[in-house]
Amino acid sequence: DFRSPDDFDDSGLPNFRPLIIAHRGASGMYPEHTELAYRQAAIQGADMIECDLALTKDLKFVCLHEPWLSKTTNIENKANFANRKTTYNMDDDDQNINWNDKGDVTDWFSFDFNLTELKTLQKKQVMDYRDPRYDWNQTVVSLHDLGNIVREVGKEQGRTIGIYVEMKHPYATNKILKNRGINMTFEELTLQALSEENFNDANSPCYLQSFELTSLKNVKSKTDLKLIFLLGREITEADWTKIKEVGIYGLGVNKRVLLTPGKSDNEGRGSYQTNVTNFIQKAHGNGIKVHAYTFRNEWMHMYWDHGQDPYSELKYFLDLGLDGFFTDFPLTVRRFLHYERRLCNTANNRTMSVILAVMSLAAYL
């Protein structure tokens, strides 16, 4: 029973097991951040679908892993857009620590195109070891498009499907907005756009994430949405203090850096695990959830310890007490949780165990 009220929080998302977070949609099977990847992720059973927010010239939001376009689209083949290639600095606001700095980037950027122009682009699968059949038949997706998809599929399936949005490079984007005389910040525009999609309170199935703690601090007093601080590096006790002061809901962490450190093998073919940290326990002790990125099925994204088996890796992190899986393959995580009898609630698991026991006894008799 996926609708048992005791097993879901006020937003409608499950609270009795880790969340299945579709990283850029079902991006392991389809081009990332496309309608196809998002719709299939929802159909496959994702609890939440991730969208990295990038701003357009006409102040609309699209979903792109980065605001520069050449890595995932055919922008380079558009002769009419050739003169818009430019350079922007994409560092964050912390001059002392690299939280997610990208330096000077020369490319075509979303905020130099309006939404109609971006919709003329086609997208490809960015990993050259993944299925290329869907290349160039999907276009750029807006935040509004994603909202429609989760509502539509959620209604069809009789469940809530949430969105997990990242404010991408807010500091760098705010400098651009200021230079253009726009008096709203990236953060304010984000909250406005989410409110227009009815994601505007603590009970909304929407998490708001960022690598920039200052950005989350800026929105904390303006929204009741659950806030997630993204971490790709180790942190100090002083950092923990800052995190707790902001009052975030959860941490989205690089699983290898912060949870299970490892090292490369002597041949340079892959890597193996060398340690496990107490990071999850420490976060839980401070009332903070932990979601880890990124779970992928291909062997090169796993330690040798797991025998090239994604179920082995998922089981390891399930037993560590992880609260959510960022995954390129939401169907795999759903099947895994079903295999572990964790997809449905505990009461239903007990009921199923009784049914199986009775069936076994009947077969024996």
- The token duo for 280 is 């999850």
For residue 117, which of 88, 143, 165, 84 has the smallest C-alpha distance? Answer: 84
* CA separation, residue 194 to residues 106, 130, 184, 242, 333 (Å): 30, 32, 15, 26, 27
pLDDT of residue 348: 54
Q: What pLDDT does residue 356 have?
A: 44
Burial readout 141-171 (b: 16 or more C-beta within 10 A, e: otherwise) = bbbebbbebbeebbeeeebbbbbbbbbbbbb
Give the C-alpha separation, 169 to 91, whole Å.
8
Q: Which of 38, 174, 63 is nearest to 118 (CA)?
A: 63
- Cα separation of 89 and 183, whole Å? 20
CA–CA dist 23, 329 (Å, integer): 8
pLDDT in tens, 317-346: 999 999 999 999 999 999 999 999 999 875
pLDDT score at 361? 52
**What's the pLDDT at 355?**
45
pLDDT of residue 96: 87
Confidence band, pLDDT 50/70/90 cuts, at residue 359: very low
- Residue 262 has phi, psi (to 5 degrees) of -150, -170
C-alpha to C-alpha distance for 194 and 179, rounded to whole angstroms: 24
In sequence order, what DSSP letters do the residues of 18-36 get, joined into one string?
-EEEETTTTTTTS-TTSHH
Question: What confidence tens digit (pLDDT) does each residue in 116-160 have?
Answer: 999 999 999 999 999 999 999 999 999 999 999 999 999 999 999
pLDDT at 4: 61
Interval 248-273 mean pLDDT? 97
Ordered alpha helix ranges (H), 25-65:
35-43
User: pLDDT tens for residues 230-239?
Assistant: 999 999 999 9
What pLDDT band is residue 349 in, cutting at 50, 70 and 90?
low
Residue 354 reports pLDDT greater than 80: no
Q: Could you report the per-residue pLDDT of 183-197, keeping only the tens digit for each?
A: 999 999 999 999 999
Question: Taking the CB of residue 96, how many other CB atoms lie within 10 A of it?
Answer: 4
